[in-house]
Structure 1
Amino acid sequence: MTTATLTGRRPANAHPWLRFAVRRFGGLLVGLAVLLVATFLMVHLIPGDPVRNVVGLNAKPEDVERMREALGLNLPLWQQFGRYLSGLFTGDLGISLRTRIPVSTVVASGLSASASLAAVAFVAVILIAVPLGMTVGVLTARGRRRALQTTFTAVTGLFASIPGFLLAVGLVYFFAVANPWLPVSGRAGWTSYLMPVTALAIAPIAGLSRIVRSQTAVVLGEDYLRTARSKQLPDRLLYLRHTLPNLLTATLTIGGMLLPGLLGGAVIIENVFNWPGIGTQVVIAVTGKDFPVAQTIILILGAAVLIVNAVVDLIIAAIDPRSTLRED
């Protein structure tokens, strides 16, 4: 019997995934802490006086001081940060300078709309890009069908390079102005999702499908695939049981990296389609100098990216421990 058995203790590497999860959670906390500090300092780093931007340059000194006191900007910096953290944990995010209603109410009204748009776009990217890239990778493996590979590369390269806002404007003109088939703006029914999701997902679909095609070509050249093919397995089993699982790690990694692009692109896309989400709200808040609202939205977007990336890392570690797990 081993020493670990005699002592009743498990080996230090008995739970590598759990240890990796703890380390990844620690990294997430550090990232969130940096994000908190950055969003807090945003008001202090922006040129100009945010109070003057609210009350106007010709306001009386007593009005300026009253507003500064209401915002807590007359307190020492460490006390302001303490109030900021306290507000986050208690749900008191302050008052919108533009509408004079609680920031939580303003943000909550657009959060569900943005989340639904980003979620539908992300699902569309995965469901279209992975089968498309894998199919083209199988058809063009080992140098076959050069014309198909060239056409696929050219078309996906073109769509990947088109700016989202330009595609959005084109969709509005064709499907809403020239041909009134789809609603031009707002969120009313499933048809209102078609144009914003298309504008948001086309470039990620093109980019991810190119990566999946390349990874498929690599996987099909591995020894274990040649062994499986020598056993005369049906193509369906060969591709679904042996090829697809080995593409999941790269696909999930790239998919997690695509999320910040989807969230960032949503800010522009929502404004083109007048989508009632936080992308529209953050533009209004920044242009209107509504710093409490802008702070909260930027914090939410940043935290969402950090959390999703951490979850993707944990999923990848569970699927393929060799790709992420490391011994201490």
Structure 2
Amino acid sequence: MTAALAVRAGSPWARFTARRLGRLLVSLWVVVTAAFLMLHLIPGDPVRAALGPTASAELVATRRAALGLDQPLWHQYLDYLRGLFTGDFGVSMSSGLPVSQVIGDRLPPTLELAVGAFVLAIVLSVPLGLLFAVLTRGGRRRPAELTFTSASVVVAAIPEFMLAVGLVWVFSVNLGWVPVAGRDGFGSYVLPVVALALGPAAILARIVRVETLAVLRADFVRTARAKRLPTSAVYLRHALPNALTATITLCGLLLGALVAGTVLVENVFAWPGLGSTIVSSILAKDYPVVQGIVLVYGVGVLLVNLVVDIALALIDPRSTIRES
């Protein structure tokens, strides 16, 4: 039993799991601490700023006591950690509702946009990158390569909110095909999802093309061709899976960026998600809500990175991620 445990503890998967879990816990602690300190690093009195200059001193003192801001900093930090473990994120200064309830109501619409945009970006980028890699391999079709490269750079450089405004002007205001704003039916999802997905799709398509071109020059692809395998099998069974390692890594980063990118896009389309909520909370100086949403964004990005690390270790067992 002891020997088996020792072998298991020394296995690459055990070391990988221990390293990733340790890194995740440290990162979570940093995110939680940063979210807690946000309220205390704001210049002035956040309670006074939220209640306004005409609020009485008694009202300000009562609200500070209700929020626990009259306690020593270390005591507030322990209370904050205790609340997180029990699902208590505090109370909104504006509405008086629990922050956890506000986040629970607003998180699903944001996830719908982010996941929908992520799926659309993958569906567009992988076939497009593979197609142009096949068309332009070996220096062929230089005009097609130049067109693809230039178009992808331009699309990736346009901010999401500018794409959103342009899409609204064309497809909602002029053509009237989809709603201008709001979350009502399938049509209301089209423009926000497209606005979020186009930039990441352009970046991923370029990565897929570059990685596929490198794989197509590899010896195992030449061997597959020498065996007279069908062209579809060479590209889809041999080339594409080996070209997706770098793409998966970038996909994780882009998924985290998509969640953050919803902040501006949601405000363009009046989408009832976390993005529009955090902007309105900042304007209203509702700092407990801002704290909770920032914490949700940070934890979401950390979990996405963890999933990407695990996916890479499963796809490529020889990778340094698993063997380190």
**What range is the shorter-chain TM-score in?**
over 0.9
Decide whether aligned partners of structure 1 residues 11 and 84 sit closer, same or farther in structure 2, where only a CA change above 3 A counts: closer
| Aligned residue number for residue 152 of structure 1 | 148
Q: Which runs of 4+ in 1 moved over 4 A?
A: 7-14
Is the CA contact 2:313–2:322 (under 8 Å) kept in the aligned structure 1? no
Which residue is equivalent to 1:40?
36
Q: Is the 8 A contact 2:208 2:244 kept in 1?
A: no
Q: Say if 1:174 and 1:82 are closer, same or farther in 2 by CA, change over 3 A.
A: same
Which residue of structure 1 aligns with residue 208 of structure 2? 212
Match of 2:73 in 1: 77
Alpha-carbon distance, 1:184 to partner: 0.9
Cα pair 1:17 1:325 within 8 Å, conserved: no
Partners in 2 of 1:13 and 1:76 — Cα distance? 43
Larger CA deviation: 11-20 vs 170-179: 11-20
Query: How many corresponding residue pairs?
Result: 323
Equivalent pair of 1:186/1:192 in contact (CA under 8 Å): yes
1:294 is aligned to 2:303 = no
2:64 corresponds in structure 1 to: 68
Paired residue for 1:22? 18
Is there any run of 5+ residues in structure 2 with no aligned partner, and where? none
CA distance in 1, matches of 2:109, 2:184: 11
Bigger shift: residues 198-207 or 259-268: 259-268
1:234 alignment partner in structure 2: 230
Displacement after TM superposition at 1:11 (Å): 4.2
Q: Give the AA of the match of 1:256.
A: G
162, 187, 191: which is aligned to 1:191? 187
Alignment match, 1:272? 268
Q: Given that residues 35 and 299 in structure 1 are in contact (C-alpha distance below 8 angstroms), is that contact kept between their aligned partners in structure 2?
A: yes
2:102 is matched with which residue: 106, 109, 128? 106
What letter corresponds to residue 223 of structure 1 in structure 2? D
- Could you tell me which runs of 5 or more consecutive residues in structure 1 were left unpaired when the two chains were aligned: 1-6
| In 2: Cα distance, 1:29 partner to 1:14 partner | 21
1:301 Cα deviation after fit:
0.7
Pick closer, same or farther for the CA change 1:64–1:10 going to 2, 3 Å.
closer
3-state SS of the aligned residue for 1:47? Answer: coil
Aligned to 2:87: 91
Cα drift, residue 86 of structure 1:
1.2
Task: Report deviation, 1:103.
Answer: 1.1
1:168 equivalent in structure 2: 164
TM-score by length of 2: 0.96
Identity rate, percent:
52
Q: CA RMSD in A?
A: 1.7
Q: TM-score, normalised by structure 1?
A: 0.94
Distance apart, 1:55 and its partner CA: 2.3
